[in-house]
Amino acid sequence: QQQVKQSPQSLIVQKGGIPIINCAYENTAFDYFPWYQQFPGKGPALLIAIRPDVSEKKEGRFTISFNKSAKQFSLHIMDSQPGDSATYFCAASIRAGSNYQLIWGAGTKLIIKP
Amino acid sequence: DSGVTQTPKHLITATGQRVTLRCSPRSGDLSVYWYQQSLDQGLQFLIQYYNGEERAKGNILERFSAQQFPDLHSELNLSSLELGDSALYFCASSAAARSYNEQFFGPGTRLTVL
């Protein structure tokens, strides 16, 4: 199964709260899990990424938690700010022949209320 | 600025017409990806080229075609346009089609079909 299921579809959080976005996958061949952030009218940009041999990765206020046995990973945003309002995509990389492809989640529209 | 350029930024055309979208990847990147994003929707992968050769196909309609030229720029051709083709079209590039391949997205072309 080459799908990445992302939830929730949308999320509204008060400033300072900790929004959590979840992703799940079935294929254990996935070997790289990035998160992309997209502001309205812009292209997505890599935010943070993790490999399956690591359970957690932090970059500033953004943390990925990875649960290999459950085949789930999540993005947490600490001390969220209105400027974090964006659409967030999780993805997973898989080898397909001599090529590597990214399989994308459906996206989560996050709104941080002041 | 990701280093990926896309032209034009906006395109308005009529049903039944044909348009060409252009993408210049980051300097040195060999892989180019095309994505379609309809209003408030996720990223739909269309097609990937690597060093001039087609590498992967996603949900690309037969009315759409793409190519990558020797100078590595790419063009996406959309023909017999329908109202439902109105969307943001993103190009992304990566250094190679290997694992951990961060994709760098351009600013997108907004296509409106009237």
Best residue in B37, B103, B109, B110 to probe A by mutation, most A CBs within 10 Å?
Answer: B103
How far lies A40's CA from each of A83, B39, B41, in Å?
12, 11, 12
The pLDDT tens digits for B19-54 are: 999 999 999 899 999 999 998 778 999 999 999 999
State how far the Cα of A49 lies from the Cα of A56, in Å rounded to an integer.
Answer: 10
CB-count burial class (<10 Å; 0-12, 13-18, 19+) for B110: middle
Closest by CA to B91, choosing from B63, B62, B61, B67, is B67
With an 8 Å Cβ cutoff, are A106 and B92 in contact? no
Q: Which residues of A fall within a CB distance of 8 Å from B43?
A: 44, 89, 104, 107
With an 8 Å Cβ cutoff, are A100 and B99 in contact? yes
If pLDDT is split at 50, 70 and 90, which confidence band does B99 have?
low
How far lies A94's CA from each of A28, A29, A61, A106, B18, in Å?
9, 6, 28, 17, 34
What's the pLDDT score for residue A48?
95
Kindly tell me if the per-residue pLDDT of B97 is higher than 80.
no
Kindly tell me if the per-residue pLDDT of A1 is higher than 70.
no
Kindly tell me if the per-residue pLDDT of A66 is higher than 70.
yes
In chain A, how many H helices and how many E strands?
Answer: 0, 11
Instruction: At A82, give phi and psi (nearest 5°).
Output: -55, -30
The pLDDT tens digits for A31-61 are: 899 999 999 989 999 999 999 899 999 999 9
